[in-house]
């Protein structure tokens, strides 16, 4: 019973209080949370959130953690899903001071070890950037030397999460390269990124190639991850090195 008690304490539902709500795009917000007793997390992990309606109806969803483990406050970036049960509340109605139930961190598969020097290839579709941002933020905070390439696919420029931070990262961090592709927009005239869906030539241009044996993380909507992960294996990356997180439809 002791171990059960210990486990329950670790994965118990806790009360999270919103301390700040920051817009990241027209439909995504970062919630900064105060979670008493939070045990800390690893980059790439997520939390389960539970909302309870007045009539007792409960709804649970998982959200990736955006903040680095080294940052004291827990931050989640939530993309509004039209007709969703949880994300419209969290992105449109929730205000600082509001509370909800949260448990975690959970997941040990889609995580990065900051002590590793293995090269990193991060491929994100839309809000699939969130857990990869936790990795990039930790990478910078610990001064990791692991060569890191990020490829982000977004519909439009204003859909790009953490845009200023990514631009700063691109200018500042030697070990990190940032590549963007826009799939819906006609890009601005000075646009230096791509303007098409992720394809084989793009992934080969981003690199590092399979010979560098990078650890690969792919996150985004299920069709995006299916396509990107399939292409990566086709190019020759070891399927076991390709870690995927699909958000669903």
Partner 1 sequence: MHKDGNAIAGVLEEIFTVEVTAETRTCQSCGQENAIGAHRLFTGAGYVLRCPNCSDVAATIATVPGDYRVTLFGAWSVQPPQ
R_g over Cα of the chain = 18
Tell the smallest beta-carbon distance from residue 207 to partner 1 (Å): 23
Name the 3-class secondary structure at 128.
Answer: helix
Q: Is 248 in the site for partner 1 (CB under 8 A)?
A: yes
> Cβ 138 to partner 1, closest distance in Å?
18
Residue identified by tokens 């086709």 is 234
| Identity of the residue, 4 or 53, whose beta carbon is nearer to partner 1 in the bound complex | 4
Round to whole Å and give the CA distance between 247 and 249.
Answer: 7
State which of positions 174-203 bind partner 1 (CB under 8 A). Answer: none
Is residue 7 near partner 1 by the rule CB under 8 A?
Answer: yes
Burial of 241 (0-12, 13-18, 19+ CB in 10 A): middle
Q: Can residue 241 be called a binding residue for partner 1 (CB under 8 A)?
A: no
Confirm or reject binding of residue 46 to partner 1 (CB under 8 A): yes
Asked if 14 interacts with partner 1 (CB under 8 A), we say no
**Strand residues in the chain grouped as ranges (E):** 14-25, 28-34, 46-52, 58-64, 74-79, 99-106, 120-125, 148-154, 176-182, 215-220, 242-246
Q: Which of residues 107-126 bind partner 1 (CB under 8 A)?
A: 107-111
Q: Which is nearer to partner 1, 90 or 160 (CB)?
A: 90
Residue 106 touches partner 1, criterion: CB under 8 A: yes
- Site for partner 1 (CB under 8 A): which residue of 17, 19, 21, 62? 62
The helix (H) or strand (E) run that includes residue 7 is helix 2-10
By CB under 8 A, tell whether 162 contacts partner 1.
no
222 close to 196: Cβ distance less than 8 angstroms:
no
222 binds partner 1 (CB under 8 A): yes
- CB-based contacts of 55: which residues, under 8 Å, 6+ apart? none
Element (H, E) at 229: helix 222-235
Nearer to partner 1, 140 or 245 (CB): 245
Burial of 220 (0-12, 13-18, 19+ CB in 10 A): buried
Q: How many residues in the shown chain lie near partner 1 by CB under 8 A? A: 25
Rounded to a whole number of angstroms, the minimum distance from the CB of residue 22 to partner 1 is 25
Q: How far is the CB of 242 from partner 1 (least distance, A)?
A: 9
Minimal distance, residue 186 CB to partner 1, in Å: 29
* Residues in contact with partner 1 by the rule CB under 8 A: 3-4, 6-7, 11, 46, 48, 62, 103-104, 106-111, 222-223, 243-249
């Amino acid at each position: 019973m002791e171990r059960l008690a210990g486990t329950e304490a670790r994965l118990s539902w806790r009360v999270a209080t919103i301390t700040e709500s920051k817009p990241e795009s027209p439909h995504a917000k970062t919630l900064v949370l105060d979670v008493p007793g939070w045990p800390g997390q690893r980059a790439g992990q997520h939390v389960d959130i539970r909302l309870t309606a007045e009539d007792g109806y409960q709804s649970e969803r998982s959200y990736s953690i955006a903040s680095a483990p080294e940052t004291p406050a827990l931050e989640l970036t939530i993309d509004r899903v039209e007709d969703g049960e949880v994300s419209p509340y969290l992105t449109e109605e929730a205000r600082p001071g509001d509370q909800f139930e949260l448990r975690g961190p959970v997941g040990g598969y889609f995580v990065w070890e900051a002590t590793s020097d293995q090269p990193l290839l991060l491929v994100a579709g839309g809000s699939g950037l969130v857990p990869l941002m936790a990795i990039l933020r930790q990478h910078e905070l610990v001064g990791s030397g692991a060569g890191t390439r990020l490829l982000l696919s977004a519909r439009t420029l204003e859909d790009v999460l953490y845009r200023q931070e990514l631009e700063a990262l691109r200018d500042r961090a030697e070990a990190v390269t940032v590549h963007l592709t826009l799939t819906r927009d006609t890009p601005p005239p000075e646009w230096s990124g791509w303007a098409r869906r992720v394809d084989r030539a793009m992934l080969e241009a981003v690199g590092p190639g399979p010979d560098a044996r990078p650890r690969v993380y792919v996150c985004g909507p299920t069709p995006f991850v299916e396509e990107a992960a399939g292409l990566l294996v086709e190019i020759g990356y070891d399927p076991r090195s390709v870690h995927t997180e699909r958000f669903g439809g």
